[in-house]
Every structure is written in C-alpha cells, then in structure tokens.
Amino acid sequence: MNANEEQKQQYNDYVKQVTPTHNLPYEMFKAFLTGGTICLIGQVIRNLAAQTGMDQDTAGAWCSILLVFLSILLTGLNIYPSIAKWGGAGALVPITGFANGVAAPAIEYKKEGQVFGIGSKIFTIAGPVILYGIFTSWVLGLIYWILKLL
C-alpha cells in the first residue's frame, strides 16, 4: 500500500469514527412522540375552548393562536430549540415549528436593528415556505380558472 492509499484509509477510518450513528426506529419514535404531544396539547386547547361555548371554527382559531404563542415564547426562552433537537421533525412540522422558524431569526438578528436585522432576516427560514405556498396557490387557482372557462 503506498502512502496516498494509506492516507485515504486513515481518513476513511477517521470519518467513520467521528460520524454519528443514528438508530432510525428510535429517532422516528422521538419524532412521533414530540409531534403527537404537540398535537395533543392543541387538541386539549381546542376542547377546552369548545367547552366554553365557542363554535368549532373559533375554538380552532384560538388553538392555533395559543400554539403559535407558546412556540414563540419557548423559542424566546431558548427551550424550543432543545425540543426540536430531541424531537426532530416531530417539532418542526406542526404550526409550532413554523412559528419557531419565524421567531428564531428575529430573535437572533435583533441586535442588528429593526430594519437590517429583524426586518431583513425574519423570513430567512419561513420565507421560502411562504413564497412557494403563495406561488403554488396562484398556479392552482389559474389552472382552476382556465378549466372553469373550458
């Protein structure tokens, strides 16, 4: 074995040593548990709101508002990132993950000022989601309108 091949082998051994290994079923369980817990909290909020006499739409709106508020509060207290690190996609997929995606850059860049910090960086994570969501809605609406004309 020449020196170049030996160096490549040492590098491959090093990469194997430092690369974290993941137990996929365990990671999926944690994501399921985290997302399920967030959804359970949302359902409890919705049920409590409905018990106060609200209709289902109003109860759902209050559920969304409170979940977003709790997500932003936990992001500001630096708790939500720990939840997301442990729960993976289970914490990032629901509405709370989207709220975290908007609040985290705003908190991180607030020291750069209102315009060049918060104003320009607030949608760095959530911006593409909003952009492609609106664009897809526009394209589908256009297709629907054309089909309706035909």
pLDDT 10s digits, 24-70:
899 999 999 999 999 999 999 999 999 999 999 999 999 999 999 99
Query: What's the whole-model pTM score?
Result: 0.67
Per-residue pLDDT tens over the stretch 92-127: 877 888 788 777 777 776 667 666 666 666 666 666
pLDDT for residue 13: 83
DSSP 30-99: HHHHHHHHHHHHHHHHHHHHHHTT--HHHHHHHHHHHHHHHHHHHHHTT-HHHHHHHHTHHHHSSHHHHH
Q: What share of the chain is helix, strand, coil (3-state, %, to 5)?
A: 85, 0, 15
Q: Is the pLDDT of residue 132 over 80?
A: no
